[in-house]
Structure 1
C-alpha cells in the first residue's frame, strides 16, 4: 500500500520504519522539515517528503502528531481522495503534552474531536501502546503472547485496513468497534499501554471507566516520577497495570 506518515517523532518514525520493512511504499513528512526525519527511519526504505506533497496518491495517511493540532492539516487532507484511510495515533494529556481542550474535557471522545477538526473520518489505532513497545516487541503472527492493539472506526472497510497494518507492525489487531467507543482505549484506561494479549484485551476495554481513567491519566506525572531515573518499558507497563488493580 502507499502510506503517508505525518509526524516523525517516536511513534511516527517507528511506524514508518516498520511499515516500510513490511513492504509498503512509505513516505514520511514532518512540519519541521526533512531534517526532523531520523536517518534510521529511512534505512528500511521510507522516503522523507515535504509536508505539502505528502498526501497525494496515498491509500492511508497516519497522523502521528500532538493531540489537538490536527485542524492545522485540514486543508492538506482535503486534497486527499475521500477513500483514503486516515489513522489517528494521538492521545490527550491536558496540561502535559496537550493544550487544554474544553470539548474533550466535557466528554467529547478524543478521535471524534480530531475527525471534527479534520472534516473527515478517522480510525483510532496504535495509540494504546508505548513507543518502546511498538519499537521492540512486535513479533510474527501466531507467536504465543503476541501483544494486541485496539483499532476503532466507523467504517468497516477503513477499520480492516488499519487492522491489517497493525498486524504488519507485529501486533494482533483487535476490532474495538466504532469511534464513539474509542474512549475505552484512551489514556489511562485498563487497555492503555498495558501490553495485553488478544484474549485479555476485550475485558480490559469493557472495564474502562471514563471518570476513573481520566483521574489515572492526570496522576501520571507523580506516578512516573516515582519510577526513578530511566524507567524501562516493563516499569511503565507495570505502573499502568497497577493503577487498575
Structure 2
C-alpha cells in the first residue's frame, strides 16, 4: 500500500483518488481553497482519504500527483516534493492559462516547466490524455486484446517506470515517449489526445503528432 499525495481536486484529481483507493492505496488530497472545503469529498472517498494543504499532501505522499491548472504550477510547494516522483497530468489551455510564449512556440513543454519549478523532484507525464471518467472504467487486465494504452515521459527512468506500473495496475498498457521534451506528443489537439487507443494505435498517433498546433 502506498500513500499518494494529490495536489488538485478537480475531475482528474478526484478520479485518480477514487482509483488509487480502489486498488488499496491511501490518498492525501489538497486543493487551493483549504482542506475544510474537501470534507464532503473525503467523506465520500472514505477512511483511505485525508484532506490536507498542498504542502501537507506533498509531504505525506510517497509519490505525488500534480493536477492543477497550468497557470498555477508555480504555486506547487517545492521543498515537500524534493526527492520524490511527481506525476504531472497537465495540458496547456491558453484560453484558461493565458498565452505562454515557450509553449506557443514549441520550445518548452508543460511538464518541463513543472520539472524546472521542482528541480529536486523527478517529474513524469501521466494521465493527461485520458478523460477523468475513463480512468476508473476503461482499464482491463494485462494481456487483454486491444487493451487501452497511455503514454508517459520523463527525464528519469525510475519515474517513467513508476507511471508504467501504475498504468498496469489500473488496467492500461504503456507507451514510453522518452524525455519530457517529447511529452507534447500526447497533449491537447494532437492525435493521441483523449481518444481510446491500444498500444499500436497510440504509437502511430504519437509518431504523427505535429509539434505546434
- Judge same fold: TM > 0.5, yes or no: yes
Alignment match, 1:58 = 61
Determine if the alignment matches structure 1 residue 208 to structure 2 residue 209. Answer: yes
In structure 2, the CA distance between the partners of 1:100 and 1:41, relative to structure 1 (3 Å rule), is farther
Residue correspondences, number? 208
* Between 176-185 and 35-44, the greater mean CA deviation after superposition: 35-44
Alignment match, 1:90 = 90
Larger Rg belongs to: 1
For normalisation by structure 1, the TM-score amounts to: 0.78
SS of residue in 1 equivalent to 2:116? helix
Q: Which has the higher strand share?
A: 2
Alpha-carbon RMSD across the aligned residues, in angstroms, is 1.9
Of structures 1 and 2, the one scoring higher in RCO (CA 8 A, sep 6+) is: 2
Contact 1:42 1:48 in 2 (8 A): no
Alignment match, 2:199 = 198
Determine if the alignment matches structure 1 residue 176 to structure 2 residue 172. Answer: no
In structure 2, the CA distance between the partners of 1:44 and 1:192, relative to structure 1 (3 Å rule), is farther
Deviation at 1:44, TM superposition (A): 7.2
SS of residue in 2 equivalent to 1:159? helix
* Between 9-18 and 32-41, the greater mean CA deviation after superposition: 32-41
Q: Gapped runs of 5+ residues in structure 2?
A: none
**What is the CA–CA distance in structure 1 between the aligned matches of 2:111 and 2:156, rounded to whole Å?**
14
Q: What does 1:88-237 align with in structure 2 at a 5 Å threshold?
A: 88-95=88-95, 97-107=96-106, 108-119=108-119, 120-211=121-212, 214=213
CA displacement 1:81-110 (0-9 Å, x = unmatched): 41x101100110111x32221221122122
**What is the CA–CA distance in structure 1 between the aligned matches of 2:45 and 2:101, rounded to whole Å?**
38
Which of 42, 45, 60 is matched with 2:45 structurally? 42
List, as ranges, runs of 4+ consecutive aligned residues in structure 1 with deviation greater than 4 Å: none
CA displacement 1:208-239 (0-9 Å, x = unmatched): 1123xx2xxxxxxxxxxxxxxxxxxxxxxxxx
For normalisation by structure 2, the TM-score amounts to: 0.89
Alignment match, 2:74 = 71
